[in-house]
Amino acid sequence: MTKMFCNQCQETAKGTGCTIRGVCGKSGEVANLQDLLLYVLKGISICNLPLKKKGIETKKVDKFILESLFASITNANFDSEYFIEKIKEGIALRDSTKIQLKTQGISLDTPDHDVVNWNGGTQEEMENKALEVGFLSTENEDIRSLRSLIIFGLRGIAAYADHALALGYENEELCTFIQRALASTLDDTLSVDDLVALTLETGKFGVEAMALLDTANTTTYGNPEITKVSLGVRKNPGILISGHDLKDLEELLDQTRNTGVDVYTHGEMLPAQYYPAFKKYPQFAGNYGNSWWKQDKEFDTFNGPVLMTSNCLVPPKDSYKDRVYLTGVVGFEGLKRIPDRKEGQPKNFLPIIEHAKKCDPPIEIETGELIGGFAHKTVISLADKVIDAVKAGQIKKFFVMAGCDARMKSREYYTEFANNLPSDTVILTAGCAKYRYNKLQLGDIGGIPRVLDAGQCNDSYSLVLIALALKDAFGLDDINKLPIVYNIAWYEQKAVIVLLALLFLGVKNIHLGPTLPAFLSPNVAKVLVENFGIEGIGTVEDDLSLFLA
């Protein structure tokens, strides 16, 4: 396939859409197969919702939809064979659901709709169908824009729900909403106002997904603690773990005990260093490297094998390709894979451990420490100290600088912005956006670090809880009356759901950059600006003048 259209990430070509090959590295074939899989998921949803309404258990369908949406997030899966198999599996699952409907005596409202009857066939037929049902098949650009906003938000929800499910935490209502929303994107009777309402409802369930994962992580591994994380290396060979999945990390740590192999975190796995449960492992070394997009250099110098547990994969270079292992929804042709868990048993990480034993120790690329672990429980426990600092004028303003990092030179804005903030301001952060400023020497205010790292992108939920706690502590009736500025960077679909969650919670005047999403039509962008105060970013100088006024 040579034709494609993808505009789901911030780096999309020319700020409009990738039409030949994704800037992320995915082929046109993969992009179109992802569109076709989405079409199949809509058909499954239409067939499965009546069963849910009748109270019939559909966990197999729920899990399949979560995994399929997650696999379609930017930088997660580049393997066309994976999506072909998922499409085939999805059609079979949809058809078995239709049989179940017939057994229950349930009739579909739209039994003749193509989405519940199309049966795939050859790969060529799949390729042709994919071109027919992609995002551009919706002609009205405002409807297309809102449907895109909803679908990309659902992909972010699915990622968080999938991580929670790995820890045994699930939410039936969440899965029902995902399927209802997917089905709704086929409903041509819905107006722009209807879709705006569904977009905000997507934000509501984004909050629930982040709350679910927060509960799963903290119940399983304890509440994050203020922690100093080493940036240097040890003399043992190591395994570098990247992505987001804490269950994979736990099982890897269990299996590397007494093997002489150390485990280092990379990218969005850095916040795993803050959880009490992982501190019992003496082989759990520090953090190696920086944000995901620098892995083409940092994986080279690490020397040992790398485990990718979720999205944030960059197509690997030949120099280290044979050392990259994939697991979960991550896919790339020709790379080694750690199979999924079976019958409740842990994954088998022995192959990557044996590989590590044959490798040289990592090359040291930096030294020193980072401090983090400022999730909601920790910061709220420091609330009195924070409030006193605000009342004393020591802290004048908080800046929420959460979200994603990426390659574009324009992202240097966030480093410069943080560097130029007055010394009486505090940055609240989560996600890999922090790598633009978390190694700057910004000091502290009365012992409170000026960069408070709450964790991964899903831990943006912590920042909301912190804001709500401060609102109550100051006796305010509106979260927007707090001395908090939202200057958020975005890249992929988990940042989209964070944005929608903030909008649902009533947060206004969010600045989003380095560019606004390409999938927002002018009219939809206007609605966001007029109703919620969403704006882009300007120059550092102009924005500081605006925010500090």
For the stretch 52-71, pLDDT in tens is 999 999 999 999 999 999 99
Q: What is the DSSP letter of 161?
A: H
The model's confidence at residue 1, banded by pLDDT at 50, 70 and 90, is very low
Q: What is the pLDDT of residue 482?
A: 94
Residue 87 domain-assigned (yes or no): yes
Residue 182 domain-assigned (yes or no): no
Residue 222 domain-assigned (yes or no): no
Average pLDDT over residues 397-422: 97
CB 147 within 8 A of CB 133: no
Q: What is the pLDDT of residue 110?
A: 87
Q: What is the pLDDT of residue 120?
A: 85
Q: What is the pTM of this model?
A: 0.96
**Cα torsion angle, 222, 223, 225, 227, sign:** positive
- Give me the amino acid identity at 222: G
425 three-state secondary structure: strand
Q: Which range among 3-7, 210-214, 316-320 shows the weakest confidence by mean pLDDT? A: 3-7
What contacts 381, CB < 8 A, 6 or more positions away?
none
Q: What is the pLDDT of residue 367?
A: 97
Structure tokens at 413: 């804005």
Q: Which of 296, 325, 357 is the last residue of a domain?
A: 357
The length of the chain is 549
Please indicate, yes or no, whether residues 377 and 345 belong to a single structural domain of this protein: no
Rounded to the nearest angstrom, the gap between the alpha carbon of residue 433 and the centroid of all alpha carbons in its chain is: 12
Write out the residue range of the structural domain in which residue 252 sits.
227-357
Q: What is the pLDDT of residue 76?
A: 98
Please indicate, yes or no, whether residues 506 and 392 belong to a single structural domain of this protein: yes
Half-sphere exposure at residue 89, Cβ-oriented, CA atoms within 13 angstroms? 13
412-420 and 540-547 helices cross at what angle (nearest 10)? 50
Please indicate, yes or no, whether residues 461 and 405 belong to a single structural domain of this protein: yes
Residue 334 φ then ψ, to 5°: 90, -5
CB 432 within 8 A of CB 267: yes
Q: Domain of 516: which CATH number?
A: 3.40.50.2030
Please indicate, yes or no, whether residues 415 and 526 belong to a single structural domain of this protein: yes
Please provide the DSSP assignment of 28-77 as one string.
HHHHHHHHHHHHHHHHHHHHHHHHHHTT---HHHHHHHHHHHHHTSTTTB
Average pLDDT over residues 468-497: 94
* H or E element, residue 524: helix 522-532
Q: Which of 85, 115, 137 is the last residue of a domain?
A: 137
* H or E element, residue 353: helix 350-357
CA dist 18 and 6 (Å) reads: 5
Pairing of strands 397-400, 369-372: unpaired
Q: How far is CA 435 from CA 152, 167, 289, 368, 461, in A?
A: 24, 27, 10, 15, 19
Residue given tokens 């209802």 in the structure block: 180
Please indicate, yes or no, whether residues 427 and 535 belong to a single structural domain of this protein: yes
Average pLDDT over residues 227-236: 98
Please indicate, yes or no, whether residues 397 and 535 belong to a single structural domain of this protein: yes
Average pLDDT over residues 412-424: 98
The model's confidence at residue 549, banded by pLDDT at 50, 70 and 90, is confident
The model's confidence at residue 2, banded by pLDDT at 50, 70 and 90, is very low
The model's confidence at residue 172, banded by pLDDT at 50, 70 and 90, is very high
CA angle 265, 517, 420 (to 5 degrees): 60
Residue 379 domain-assigned (yes or no): yes
The model's confidence at residue 343, banded by pLDDT at 50, 70 and 90, is confident
Pairing of strands 484-489, 397-400: parallel
What contacts 56, CB < 8 A, 6 or more positions away?
100, 104
Please indicate, yes or no, whether residues 353 and 380 belong to a single structural domain of this protein: no
Going by C-alpha positions, the residue among 65, 75, 252 that lies closest to residue 176 is 65
Q: What is the DSSP letter of 18?
A: B
CB 536 within 8 A of CB 239: no
The model's confidence at residue 277, banded by pLDDT at 50, 70 and 90, is very high
Pairing of strands 227-230, 369-372: antiparallel
Mean pLDDT (the chain) is 96
The model's confidence at residue 514, banded by pLDDT at 50, 70 and 90, is very high
Residue 244 domain-assigned (yes or no): yes
Please indicate, yes or no, whether residues 73 and 125 belong to a single structural domain of this protein: yes
Helices in 105-140 by DSSP H: which ranges? 123-133
On the question of pLDDT at 3 being above 90, the answer is: no
Q: What is the pLDDT of residues 286-306, one digit of tens each?
A: 999 999 999 999 999 999 999
Domain count of the chain?
A: 3
Please indicate, yes or no, whether residues 431 and 525 belong to a single structural domain of this protein: yes
The model's confidence at residue 450, banded by pLDDT at 50, 70 and 90, is very high
Q: How far apart are the first and last CA of the chain?
A: 52
Residue 179 domain-assigned (yes or no): no
Q: What is the pLDDT of residue 123?
A: 83
Going by C-alpha positions, the residue among 304, 455, 269 that lies closest to residue 375 is 455
On the question of pLDDT at 144 being above 80, the answer is: yes
- Cβ atoms < 10 Å from Cβ of 191: 11
Q: How far is CA 442 from CA 26, 420, 426, 435, in A?
A: 38, 10, 9, 14
Residue 143 domain-assigned (yes or no): no
CB 58 within 8 A of CB 52: yes
Q: Domain of 113: which CATH number?
A: 1.20.1270.20
Strand order in the sheet with 397-400: 451-453, 425-429, 397-400, 484-489, 510-513
Rounded to the nearest angstrom, the gap between the alpha carbon of residue 400 and the centroid of all alpha carbons in its chain is: 17
Please indicate, yes or no, whether residues 391 and 483 belong to a single structural domain of this protein: yes
CA dist 158 and 129 (Å) reads: 25
Please indicate, yes or no, whether residues 316 and 458 belong to a single structural domain of this protein: no
87 three-state secondary structure: helix
**Cα torsion angle, 501, 506, 512, 516, sign:** positive
The model's confidence at residue 313, banded by pLDDT at 50, 70 and 90, is very high
Going by C-alpha positions, the residue among 75, 43, 71 that lies closest to residue 179 is 43
**Cα torsion angle, 150, 153, 155, 161, sign:** negative
Torsion of CA 523, 528, 534, 535, to 10 degrees: 0
CB 173 within 8 A of CB 197: no
Q: Which of 92, 119, 137 is the last residue of a domain?
A: 137
Q: Name the percent of the chain lying above pLDDT 70.
A: 100
Please indicate, yes or no, whether residues 92 and 234 belong to a single structural domain of this protein: no
Q: What is the pLDDT of residue 200?
A: 97
For the chain, what is the radius of gyration of the CA atoms? 23
Residue 212 domain-assigned (yes or no): no
Q: What is the pLDDT of residues 72-85, one digit of tens each?
A: 999 999 999 999 99
